[in-house]
């Protein structure tokens, strides 16, 4: 596997496996099973078949003509992960981990979820594979994300409320990492982003790398050359790692990660772990983390629940440090404006997460001028955000 971390899961000085002793055997078992599966033609064929026939891949690479004209600069292409079954990129990873769990003889999938998108994607794959499913979710998120809770329940997943801390994603993930130690013989813990202890950051990138592999071939077919810039939003960083990995070895291609700037970096209310955090350990991995002067984890803020995470995957920390990728914040306001712009100009309602990336893609296309080509990963569709957007705007926020 190209650009793999070392045997301990280190990307440069980031990553690793900072977990209690009880969890270690399960992570070692998982690492071995993943590495064996990744080189097994039968496993790869099952994964590819499922992505094609169930998820609907390859997702199109779409030239956004009216959006391009709007910015008056380079050509903007959108990688349409919003067209996947369940409406976002997350299912690429849950299909991969679900098939791996099955191969390992597990009968239950367990996941953490914030907005509920990863919980739904995991519950979907559990139904597909005939497995049980448990989803840890903060009580506060259960209240805020009721439609996704109903979806998971329809899919016969058990939603387990988490009452510790701020009762949101970071607490659900801590709880899932703890809960996972009790039933490891039968239960497989499906992490939803390139975060957590080794081998998760590597494994999730691997399953999401299909985005970058497709996008690279598609742009070469359409333009006979590589893009100048590839842009993606970064919560934990899985959709970004997926598309970046396809272009990592192309030195001419600039990789730009967009973090949630929330109310602005100066306000302190954001979710930009790279732009505004410090090196620390969260959920078993060393990376950039939002923390106060005492090292306590700080609450992240973003208009989009999917970017609302106080950490970031270790490979992104490494890319930021080496300069292979750059990371910039886009605010709630800017993302909200782009949510409307893309809807009105292209008839595509983007997820608020993805709207952050489209905003930055437009800015880059404008700055680089007509000869440039910019590829933006449209990580998901915005149906889930419509009620929240309308409510916010009715309140005049």
Interface with ligand PLP (CB under 6 A): 88, 90, 117, 193, 233-240, 306-307, 351, 353-354, 379-380
| Cβ nearer to ligand PLP, comparing 235 with 261 | 235
CA-nearest of 142, 143, 378 to 240 is 378
How many Å separate Cα 3 from the centre of its chain? Answer: 19
Contact 141, 114 (CB under 8 A): yes
Give 338's contacts (C-beta < 8 A, 6+ positions apart): 350, 355, 356, 358, 359, 362
From the candidates 112, 334, 346, 360, give the one annotated as an active-site residue.
112
Q: Does 183 qualify as catalytic in the annotation?
A: no
- For the record, the structure tokens of 244 come out as 């970046």
Catalytic residue among 75, 79, 90, 170: 90
- Catalytic member of 79, 248, 379, 384: 379
User: Concatenated DSSP letters for 56-111?
Assistant: -PSPPEEE-HHHHHHHTSSEEEEEEGGGSGGGBTHHHHHHHHHHHHHHTT--EEEE
Nearer to ligand PLP, 15 or 380 (CB): 380
Q: Report the residue number, 184 or 297, with the smaller CB distance to ligand PLP.
A: 297
Task: Please state the closest distance from residue 90 (CB atom) to ligand PLP, in A.
Answer: 6
133 in Cβ contact with 97 (< 8 Å): no
Q: How many residues would you count in the chain?
A: 397
- 285 is an active site residue: no
Q: Return the SS3 of 132.
A: strand
379 is catalytic: yes
Q: Is the CB of 219 or the CB of 307 nearer to ligand PLP?
A: 307
Measured from the CB atom, the residue of 131 and 211 that comes closer to ligand PLP is 211
Minimum gap (Å) between residue 114 Cβ and ligand PLP: 8
Find, among 187, 214, 174, the residue nearest to 310 by Cα.
174
Q: Is 302 helix (H, G, I), strand (E, B) or coil?
A: coil
Nearer to ligand PLP, 162 or 184 (CB): 162
- CB of 354: closest distance to ligand PLP in angstroms? 6
In the complex, least distance from residue 385 CB atom to ligand PLP, rounded to whole angstroms: 9
What does the block give as tokens for 24? 């270690």
Q: Cβ of residue 74: shortest distance to ligand PLP, in angstroms?
A: 23
Contact between 81 and 380 under an 8 Å Cβ cutoff? The reply is yes
At CB < 8 A and 24+ separation, what contacts does 35-40 make? 35/199, 37/99, 37/100, 37/103, 38/1, 38/206
Measured at the CA of 169, the angle between CA 78 and CA 230, to 5 degrees, comes to 20
380: which DSSP letter? B
Task: Name which of 23 and 211 has its Cβ closer to ligand PLP.
Answer: 211
For residues 337-371, b (16+ Cβ closer than 10 Å) or e, as one string? ebbebbbeebebbbbbbbbbbbbbbbbbbbebeee
Give the nearest distance from C-beta 244 to ligand PLP in angstroms.
11
CB-nearest residue to ligand PLP: 380
Distance of CA 60 to the CA centre of its chain: 19
- What is the closest distance, in whole angstroms, from the C-beta atom of residue 393 to ligand PLP in the complex? 20
Residues labelled as active-site residues: 90, 112, 379
């Amino acid at each position: 596997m190209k650009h793999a971390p070392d045997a301990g899961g280190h990307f440069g000085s980031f990553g690793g496996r900072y977990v209690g002793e009880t969890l270690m055997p399960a992570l070692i078992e998982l690492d071995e099973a993943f590495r064996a599966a990744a080189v097994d033609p039968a496993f790869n064929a099952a994964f590819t078949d499922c992505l094609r026939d169930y998820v609907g891949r390859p997702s199109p690479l779409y030239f956004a003509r009216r959006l391009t004209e709007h910015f008056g600069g380079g050509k903007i292409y959108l990688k349409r992960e919003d067209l996947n079954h369940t409406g976002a990129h997350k299912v690429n990873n849950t299909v991969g981990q679900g098939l791996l769990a099955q191969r390992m003889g597990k009968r239950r999938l367990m996941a953490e979820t914030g907005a509920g998108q990863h919980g739904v994607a995991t519950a979907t794959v559990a139904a597909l594979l005939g497995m049980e499913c448990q989803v840890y979710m903060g009580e506060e998120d259960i209240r805020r994300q009721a439609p996704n809770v109903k979806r998971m329940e329809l899919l016969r997943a058990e939603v387990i409320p988490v009452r510790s801390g701020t009762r949101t994603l970071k607490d659900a993930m801590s709880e899932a990492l703890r809960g996972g130690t009790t039933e490891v013989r039968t239960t497989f813990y499906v992490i939803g982003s390139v975060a957590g202890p080794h081998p998760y950051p590597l494994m999730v990138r691997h399953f999401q790398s299909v985005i970058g592999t497709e996008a690279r071939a598609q742009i070469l077919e359409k333009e006979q050359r590589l893009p100048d810039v590839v842009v993606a939003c970064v919560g934990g960083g899985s959709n970004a790692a997926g598309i970046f990995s396809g272009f990592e070895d192309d030195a001419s291609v600039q990789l730009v990660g967009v973090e949630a700037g929330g109310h602005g970096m100066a306000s302190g209310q954001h979710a930009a772990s790279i732009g505004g955090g410090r090196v620390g350990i969260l959920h078993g991995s060393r990376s950039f983390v939002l923390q106060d002067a005492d090292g306590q984890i700080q609450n992240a803020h973003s208009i989009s629940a999917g970017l609302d995470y106080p950490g970031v995957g270790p490979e992104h920390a490494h890319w930021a440090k080496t300069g292979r990728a750059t990371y910039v914040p886009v605010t709630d306001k800017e993302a909200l404006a782009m949510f409307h712009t893309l809807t009105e100009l292209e008839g595509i309602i983007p997820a608020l997460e993805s709207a952050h990336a489209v905003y930055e893609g437009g800015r880059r296309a404008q700055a680089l001028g007509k000869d440039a080509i910019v590829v933006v990963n449209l990580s998901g569709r915005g149906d889930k955000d419509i009620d929240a957007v309308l409510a916010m705007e009715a309140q005049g926020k």
